[in-house]
Amino acid sequence: MPVTIKDIKTILTQPAGSRLIIVKIITSDDGLYGLGCATFTQRFEAVVTAIEEHLKPFLIGWDVDRIEEIWQMSSVNSYWRNGPVLNNAISGVDQALWDIKGKRAGMPVYQLLGGKCREGADTYAHASGRDKHEVVDSVRRHMESGYRHIRIQMGGYGGQSDTIQKPEGAPDGAYYHPREYVRRMTEMIEHVRTEIGPEVELLHDIHERLRPIDAIQMAKDVEPFKLFFLEDALAPEDIAWFNNIREQCATPLAMGELFNHPLEWRPLIEGRLIDFIRMHVSQMGGITPARNVAAFANMYSVRTAWHGPGDTSPVGHAANLHLDLWAPNFGIQEWCRFNELCYEIFPGLPEVRNGYMYPNEQPGLGIDINEELAAKYPCTNPVIEWTQTRSPDGSPMRP
């Protein structure tokens, strides 16, 4: 008798800043269940509705072993496809099915993918400060903790500016000055490299906040400082401009956290226009498509660097880790350094020691959830402010 999907449960919790969505698939085999990440923190209620009202009634009774078929059919059952809400909902199911598959096999998921290529996944952490001197201090603290790859930001995404002169009657918003940002961040990166030296790998995230021509200029300006990569230099709508960046400098480029559709990442890989794929694994639909993209990217010497901020849930980080351990073209893993409460809610959450993330060798994804404790931290639903970005004259800008 096949083991089937008996029920699908959606668990919401917010133990830190991000609203997390965990999918729990309960099977016909008493006591056997799997967990997956469906976290789209900015529109979490929409994902919950997609799971509870659409995927759940569609999938009850399916054989849990048919992961590929379930992924394919879930993607097209709505006819309209390749959007963040649906992809995240499908991801939660997909990751939970891989978790179940590993538990049934008595193996960690990385074994099902093909086994380890490494014992631990090298990570990078985030260093920041209000000015370039505070950034250096933050970098040194991370180095003392064993990190060899460190992302450096100053004043948050887009930086901070005290010189913006808004027009009269300008609306509220998260204002920043794109060209001033280029000047100040380039100066900061140069300062950190000078103070820290060449041994530590430095990264920086533009967060798609620049017009294409300014992004090209910044990629050229920071080339002498030998970044490990420059992240999200362009918005998904502007990916054709990666040709222009490649023609003018050798700064390594990482891209992809907002990608939903294969036609967003495929031409960048085929054209060798980026060096790292940065997709958010739940945003792209789970382990199944991530495995396929990693294998595809490997043929073009493009490495993985899966998105791993606080709005990738602990379950999502566990999924990232299994992909990291397996992928021959692994590059680096972003790590947000969860608080102790997250480790209590999610027993089995991967640990990082001296910059390396290690699995716990349990079957499946190796992570669980304390639902009673998770329920004590319900999700809030405020209007999001940081994405209400504006240029100095008040015009809307992409965050």
Q: Where in the chain is the domain with CATH 3.20.20.120?
A: 112-363
Q: Is 0.75 surpassed by the pTM of this model?
A: yes
Q: How far apart are CA 92 and CA 398, in angstroms?
A: 27
**157 classed as catalytic:** yes
**110 classed as catalytic:** no
Cα 227 from chain centre: 20
Q: How far apart are CA 161 and CA 147, in angstroms?
A: 30
Q: What is the pLDDT of residue 47?
A: 97
Q: Tell me the CA distances in angstroms from 159 to 152, 257, 336, one per residue in order.
A: 12, 20, 20
Q: How far apart are CA 319 and CA 308, in angstroms?
A: 10
281 phi/psi in degrees, rounded to 5 = -60, -35
Q: What is the pLDDT of residue 274?
A: 98
Q: What is the pLDDT of residue 157?
A: 87
CATH 3.30.390.10 fits 5-107, yes or no: yes
Q: What is the pLDDT of residue 163?
A: 78
Q: Where in the chain is the domain with CATH 3.30.390.10?
A: 5-107
Task: Please identify which of the residues 54, 157, 300, 343 carries the catalytic annotation.
Answer: 157
Run means of pLDDT, 10 residues per run, the chain, 399 residues: 97 96 98 97 96 98 98 95 96 98 98 98 97 98 97 89 85 92 96 97 96 97 98 96 97 97 96 98 97 98 97 97 98 96 97 96 97 97 92 90
**Which option is the CATH number for 112-363: 3.40.50.460, 3.40.1110.10, 3.40.640.10, 3.20.20.120?**
3.20.20.120
Q: Within a 13 Å sphere around the CA of 211, how many CA atoms are in the beta-carbon half?
A: 9
Task: Please identify which of the residues 204, 207, 307, 322 carries the catalytic annotation.
Answer: 207
Q: What is the pLDDT of residue 210?
A: 95
* In contact, 281 and 287? CB cutoff 8 Å: yes
Cα 61 from chain centre: 31
